[in-house]
Structure 1
């Protein structure tokens, strides 16, 4: 099963406090992400302002990205007109479906909300755009009501159920998606969108895919409002290493890390060194026990080969290196690791380190 990954980095990231992504920033980030072969890129919310509209207009008009360029819109005429003015390839209309959001956000009944969605979807189509529909707070909505939406809008190719406030866990996600499929919802039309408020957005995405969803929203390094969204890079790697299959096949794995890093650079976003997958510390090893074993078999202390995804493994040697690391370095250079040589190499590493694997190998070649 192939799963469509749809990037929301730019649009969700721009909603974080203090962010002002310019047009050129958005274009550069979108071009970097497009190298992955994603199906769609949400580059803005046209009703917000001209920056969002211009970014979408240029991306969609220039044709320099292969992904569909998506503009989101509330189920209002004004929002859809703004998205049409921006010439988005796809207009993704979003509307609340949970009782709480219908009452306190929209102030409308369920029937009124669905009528609003129908009218705006029709207007978007009449304006020449493709359409998607997102059900806000969908994972806190009775599945019967969700199934009814799919029945009401049979011509909408993707209807996304959103965990808008990050309130669900993998078990409840799997149960909900399975319930929808059992009610006759076509998995090929079922998308999901998760927030990471409880730290399980990636796990929720994988659970949804396992249960039958075939489209998922993702964001580089979880950029997005509050705790962010399901991290693109973690979904791809987790699926490739130990997942249900499909997501990783939908993107160019070899470009994963470089493209994500380029998108972060374009948006001037930094990440903690210990951030999964993309953090500098994640593929850096200095412990003597680790480096000694990894010189012989890198997989001993890592879940995946970083090079598979365009990343790089870093082994560090210095004062913290142990006898096992020194012995392994000597053996790799074809030097017999006598006790004296091991002791001497440890002294050199402590004196001149920390250093990388190449520098350590060069040191052995020069001194032994």
Structure 2
């Protein structure tokens, strides 16, 4: 397959338990956080951002216990405030992620600080983490709306005191892939730290921007399962992983066969249902109703599916849905699955019933199919053998 760019490697930083939990009306219990972290760890996720330790005693406990229980790198978030940094260090995480606003609008109307104050606080926070012997990531919050010269200034300042990672957050989801690539390249030219990206989905570009970040040389992307997170959410774990694996032929090290299992767990715990047409994990992602499509897929799944990504790769199953657009191939296949050996005329008769029922916006279930088969006296498999 022709590619528009190349990716050297992909690291996955999952923030489901931090930014994902910041979804409006979403809260994970202690046990739910542990469950999600355990699956992420078992799947081979490179970094798990377990939470914001200073937020509460319960949050601190969850971050601490996840850090102790997992084999992967666990990260804790901290503002450039002493109590935040100390809480993150006390939680025992291997990576402390510190952040400060850098766009003028956030400095003036949220943080109420000058550019100089922001740089000084950022430097002090990174210095404290490094003094403790812990890996440090720095985020210039709202980087995509930050003046380029000032962004370079703050990146250079924290790099000089030992920041291991520079994260480039598209905090308000306003970057385009081209702009994001330019920004990643600019930051890389002004730091020896590794570069990480964090994209939001306000315009539906989060996954595209994460991939653009990789193409521009970022080593890691921050993602959340099902794309949950602030406002319209984040780049989706499942989309970034599968795009990297299937479209760029990159071995992420993630066990992709558990993606659907993980997605359903987060869907249940977050109480945020996936749209049926959600890429990779939606219930329609590998489902077919149209007669032309279903007939092609029955013969060769690559005819009307990506080919480079199969349901088996993500732990899902393919489904042939019965309804208004169903063709004879799907009806025959479903009848055979439930023990019938229909003739061509019987298949055509049942297909007409399925189409008519579906045209009235009725959902055609397997019970309906059995009823239609009985009405048309469809031949059963044992009758053929007899």
TM-score (norm 2): 0.82
1:265 correspondence with 2:268: yes
**Deviant stretches of 4+, over 6 Å:** 327-332, 335-338, 347-352
1:41 correspondence with 2:44: no
User: Given the superposition, is the C-alpha separation of residues 322 and 172 from structure 1 closer, same or farther in structure 2, using an over 3 Å criterion?
Assistant: same
From 1, 7, 17, give the equivalent of 2:14. Answer: 7
1:313 correspondence with 2:313: no
1:130 correspondence with 2:126: no
CA deviations over 1:186-236 (Å, ceiling 9, x no partner): 5x6111111111111011111111111111100111110100100111111
After TM superposition, give the deviation of residue 272 of structure 1 in Å. Answer: 2.3
After TM superposition, give the deviation of residue 42 of structure 1 in Å. Answer: 1.1
Number of equivalenced pairs: 360
Q: Could you say which residue in structure 2 is the equivalent of 1:163?
A: 170
**Residue pairs, 1:96-245, within 5 angstroms:** 96-152=101-157, 153-154=159-160, 155-181=162-188, 183-186=189-192, 189-243=194-248, 245=249
After TM superposition, give the deviation of residue 35 of structure 1 in Å. Answer: 2.3
1:293 correspondence with 2:289: no
User: Given the superposition, is the C-alpha separation of residues 6 and 109 from structure 1 closer, same or farther in structure 2, using an over 3 Å criterion?
Assistant: same
Tell me, which stretches of 5 or more residues in structure 1 are unaligned?
none
After TM superposition, give the deviation of residue 363 of structure 1 in Å. Answer: 8.1
Q: Could you say which residue in structure 2 is the equivalent of 1:354?
A: 365
Contact 2:155 2:190 in 1 (8 A): no
In 2, the alpha carbon distance for the partners of 1:87 and 1:286 equals: 51
Tell me, which stretches of 5 or more residues in structure 2 are unaligned?
1-7, 358-362, 371-377
SS at match of 1:165: coil
In 2, the alpha carbon distance for the partners of 1:319 and 1:83 equals: 56
TM-score (norm 1): 0.86
1:279 correspondence with 2:282: yes
In 2, the alpha carbon distance for the partners of 1:48 and 1:126 equals: 23
**Residue pairs, 1:46-61, within 5 angstroms:** 46-61=53-68
Contact 1:316 1:355 in 2 (8 A): no
From 337, 342, 345, give the equivalent of 1:340. Answer: 345
CA deviations over 1:260-300 (Å, ceiling 9, x no partner): 32343344443222222211122221222222111101121
